[in-house]
């Protein structure tokens, strides 16, 4: 029984380590949605045009590609920036720069964090409406700098 408990602890530790590494890797990425697909498109060029026209900025992009299955709605484009400060600037500016378009920008979260964020959606909306400062980081919700606990 002790051996099973020890293995369980090791597995949990490894899962947390993998999640931490995935978060770090995705910290260079953003998801762009609402961009019509074109069979001959080069996603890097498409994103570069969007950033230069809407954000009035030139940002070095390492890579960009569509993700998901083709369907009636356009697939998201995952964009990997060369530097995290550029990524952060684009994310901060997105709401104001894209308000008159169908395009949206969001964090590229690991699956586990995405599910956590979905569970907090109503709480986050209520806090935003009250004027509270809301932050979702590493799978946890912070409201006015304090960890939210249900």
Q: What confidence score (pLDDT) does residue 60 get?
A: 95
Q: How far is CA 59 from the centre of its chain?
A: 18
d(CA 102, CA 76): 12
Per 3-state DSSP, the chain is made up of helix, strand and coil in percentages (nearest 5) of: 45, 20, 30
Average pLDDT rounded to a whole number, residues 134-138: 90
When mean pLDDT is compared over 78-82, 118-122, 141-145, the highest value belongs to 78-82
**E strand spans, the chain:** 29-33, 61-67, 76-81, 104-107, 134-137, 140-143, 146-147
Query: Any idea which residue has 């104001």 for tokens?
Result: 96
- Percent of the chain exceeding pLDDT 90 equals 82
Per-residue model confidence (pLDDT) at position 2: 86
Residue 1 has a pLDDT of 79
Q: What is the CA radius of gyration of the chain?
A: 18
CA–CA distance from 124 to each of 38, 64, 105, 115, 148 (Å)? Answer: 35, 29, 18, 14, 10
| Rounded average pLDDT over 83-101 | 93
Give the whole-angstrom CA distance, residue 24 versus residue 30: 13
Instruction: Tell me what percent of the residues of the chain surpass a pLDDT of 70.
Output: 100
Say what the pLDDT of residue 149 is. Answer: 82
DSSP state of 3: H
Q: What mean pLDDT, rounded, does the chain reach?
A: 93
Q: For residue range 13-71, list pLDDT tens digits in order.
A: 999 999 999 999 999 999 999 999 998 999 999 999 999 999 999 999 999 999 999 99
Given a cut of 90, whether residue 74 has pLDDT beyond it is: yes
Mean pLDDT for the stretch of residues 96-122: 92
Structural domains in the chain, sorted by start: 28-108 (3.30.70.1820), 109-150 (no CATH)
């Amino acid at each position: 029984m002790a051996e099973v408990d020890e293995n369980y602890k090791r597995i949990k530790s490894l899962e947390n380590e993998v999640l931490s590494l995935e978060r770090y890797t995705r910290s260079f990425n953003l998801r762009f949605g609402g961009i019509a697909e074109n069979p001959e498109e080069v996603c890097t060029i498409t994103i570069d045009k969007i950033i230069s026209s809407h954000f009035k900025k030139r940002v070095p992009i390492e890579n960009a590609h569509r993700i998901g299955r083709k369907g009636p709605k356009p697939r998201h484009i995952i964009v990997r920036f060369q530097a995290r400060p550029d990524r952060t600037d684009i994310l901060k500016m997105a709401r104001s720069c894209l308000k008159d378009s169908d395009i949206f920008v969001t964090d590229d979260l690991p699956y586990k964090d995405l599910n956590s964020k979905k569970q907090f959606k109503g709480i986050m909306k209520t806090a935003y409406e009250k004027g509270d400062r809301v932050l979702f980081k590493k799978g946890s919700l912070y409201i006015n700098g304090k960890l939210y606990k249900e």
